[in-house]
Amino acid sequence: MPADPSRSFKWATIICSVVSIVFLIAAAVRENISADWRARQAAFREILTRKAKDAAARTAARNLPIEIRQVVVPALHAVDRCVTCHLGIDDPRMADQANPHRTHPKRLLTIHRVEKFGCTVCHQGQGAALNFEEAKAEDYFWDYPLLPAKFTEATCASCHNPRALPAGSAGRLVLGAQLYEQKGCGGCHKLNGKGGQLGLPLDNVGLKTKHQFVRTNLKGSQTNWNWLAEHFRDPAGIIPGSLMPVPALSRPQVEALTVFMLSLRQRDLPAEYLAPDKIDEQYARLHPAPPDGAALYRRYCAACHDTGLFSRWDKLFQRFVPGIRNAAFVRAADDESLAVNVREGRPGTPMPGWGPKAGGLSEAELAALVAYMRSSAPAMALPAAPARGDAARGATLFAQNCAGCHGVAGQGLIAPALANPVFQRAATDAFIAQTIRAGRENTPMPAFGRAGFGEAEIGDLLAYIRKWQPAGAAAVALGRQP
């Protein structure tokens, strides 16, 4: 009898069928019976039975159903299945157990009930997952992986004001918020509309996903917190060419600042979730208290100007930073010119403007800052400036005596730029003349008046320096007499 024409098909069918059945059974077992959480729940049942004190409790423990558990919090858009494995999370008897059966530490859940808050609103991570790797969701396609314990405090700020938390709670977050002020981060970074513009705004940094960080130079863990921590240790190592000063921070300080960065996230939470202090914070943003000049100076100015009593050379900027609280300077400048300098900054230099449209400070805050600077010295009545003389002679004098520090073109080297439009606007002739005449104590600016410059030479210099005045600016120079 000739061979059956469909013999090979029969074999193929049988082999493929066997393969299919094997995979179907294997998948059915893997997906259902051998799921991780079943073993965890069985273990929990054991623990519960062991801890049972009487027969009724033992029966209840034995009958504990093995099933997926979840906390659904519609207000937070949370479906958290963490409790499928963390069964003892709000059971005080489980304090002596190891994870995942352990009670939540610090009794935090008595204040933040699981049914009301769920898990991921504080811990982040993927609440829908049913195994730890996917719940943790690091190196996984998930926007907000589980926060490591040392950074979890970041999410407290969703409902609490980190500046008003009671002592002893969320220590890292509180320290981070303080460091942000103390280190003058606001000098370069905007937050809530206020701050400098050299660095990136920091609003909602905590909401960024790892894809929004430039991680080209990030070694090790690719998480946001590792990025932030490494960046605090060595900003230029993460972002080449970064102008951010290397802050001398201890390890706890790095962690605290990282927590604070992660806490910068505006979540649209229902009012019943907000702590009273958070509501106060929001109220305070709309109705600010009278500004404190010293605090404002520390927050926005000190990062570059330090105490402001002396001028200093900045290595990163490769330029000179004037001492803006220097008594000689403050004495010579009137409030209005100080305010103009603060409000408008110095275009072309790292000094940003701080007016409402730039740095976001209100006029009241600007006034407080000026008042704080004024506390170094009262304004003096300046002797009248000599009449502007011959600019050509002034040019020669400038090249001989001034250009070494102020630059040939007045662009500023180790001394302020005189060709700067805002300087030209803020400075009166009397101010310039007095500075040349009397110099600036505690800075390299000598008193040329004592070095033999007469009023005529000063007038010539004045004429030359005023050549840098922007066209038409003389008329609008703050409506004041030049």
Partner 1 sequence: MTPTQEFLQNLKQAPRHIRESMLRNGKMPETDRERSQSTFHNVFFHLQSVRVHRHSLRFAYTFGLGLILTASFVVLTLTGILLMVYYKPGAELAYDSVKDIHFVVPAGRFIRNIHRWGAHLMVLAVFLHMARVFYTGSYKRPREFNWLVGLALLALTLGLSFTGYLLPWDQLAFWAITIGANIASSPREVTDAIGITAWFDPGKLLKQLLLGANYVGQEALIRFYVLHVAVLPLALAALMGVHFWRVRKDGGLSRDETRPAPPARIGDRDVQVFAPNKTYGLMAVVRGRTPEVGRAPEGTVTSWPHLLWAEMAAFMFTIAVTLALSYFFDAPLKEMANPAIPENPAKAPWYFLGLQELVSYSAFMGGVGIPAIVLAGLGLIPYLDRDPRGVGVWFGGPAGRREFWQSLAFGLASVLALLAFTVNFGWLRAWYPTIPQIAIIIVNPATVIVAMYSAWSLWVLRRTGSIRLSAVALFTCFLAGFVVLTAMGSIFRGPNWQFYWWPSQWPTH
Interface residues with partner 1 (CB under 8 A)?
A: 1-2, 4-6, 8-10, 12-13, 15-17, 19-20, 23-24, 26-28, 30-32, 68, 79, 81, 126, 128-130, 134, 141-143, 209, 211-212, 214-216, 218, 222
Q: Pick the closer one to partner 1 by CB: 222 or 307.
A: 222
HSE of 71, CA atoms in CB hemisphere, 13 A: 23
Which ranges of 345-472 does DSSP label H, i.e. alpha helix?
363-374, 391-401, 403-406, 421-426, 429-438, 455-465
Between helices 224-233 and 251-262, what is the axis angle to 10°? 130
Contacts of 472 (CB under 8 A, 6+ apart): none
Residue 113's CB: how many other CB atoms inside 10 A? 11
Residue 219 vs residues 36, 80, 139, 147, 230: alpha-carbon distances, Å:
32, 32, 14, 19, 9
Q: Pick the closer one to partner 1 by CB: 134 or 181.
A: 134
In angstroms, rounded to a whole number, what is the distance separating the alpha carbons of residues 115 and 119?
9
CB of 90 to partner 1, least distance (A): 22
- Lookup: tokens for 211: 């894809």
Q: Pick the closer one to partner 1 by CB: 79 or 275.
A: 79
Q: Pick the closer one to partner 1 by CB: 79 or 284.
A: 79
Give the DSSP H/E element, type plus range, for residue 313. Answer: strand 312-314
Amino acid identity of residue 278, one-letter, is: K
Contacts of 414 (CB under 8 A, 6+ apart): 313, 319, 320, 405, 444
CB of 8 to partner 1, least distance (A): 7
Q: Pick the closer one to partner 1 by CB: 26 or 108.
A: 26
Residues linked to residue 389 through DSSP beta bridges, in sequence order: none
* CB environment 396-413: b (16+ within 10 A), e (fewer): ebbeebbbeebbeebebe
Q: Pick the closer one to partner 1 by CB: 31 or 54.
A: 31
CB of 385 to partner 1, least distance (A): 54
Q: Pick the closer one to partner 1 by CB: 137 or 173.
A: 137
In angstroms, rounded to a whole number, what is the distance separating the alpha carbons of residues 466 and 291?
36
CB of 120 to partner 1, least distance (A): 13
Q: Pick the closer one to partner 1 by CB: 150 or 215.
A: 215
CB of 15 to partner 1, least distance (A): 8
Residue 336, classed as helix, strand or coil, is: helix
CB of 444 to partner 1, least distance (A): 45
Residue 423 vs residues 264, 342, 343, 357, 474: alpha-carbon distances, Å:
36, 11, 12, 19, 12
CB of 215 to partner 1, least distance (A): 4
Q: Pick the closer one to partner 1 by CB: 227 or 423.
A: 227
- Could you identify the residue written with the tokens 């600019």? 391
In angstroms, rounded to a whole number, what is the distance separating the alpha carbons of residues 222 and 227?
7
Q: Pick the closer one to partner 1 by CB: 37 or 320.
A: 37
CB of 48 to partner 1, least distance (A): 24
The alpha carbon dihedral of 137, 140, 143, 149 has a sign of positive
CB of 31 to partner 1, least distance (A): 4
Residues linked to residue 321 through DSSP beta bridges, in sequence order: 312
Cβ–Cβ < 8 Å for 247, 263: no
Which ranges of 266-376 does DSSP label H, i.e. alpha helix?
276-286, 293-296, 302-305, 327-332, 335-344, 363-374
Q: Pick the closer one to partner 1 by CB: 32 or 318.
A: 32
CB of 32 to partner 1, least distance (A): 6
CB of 416 to partner 1, least distance (A): 40
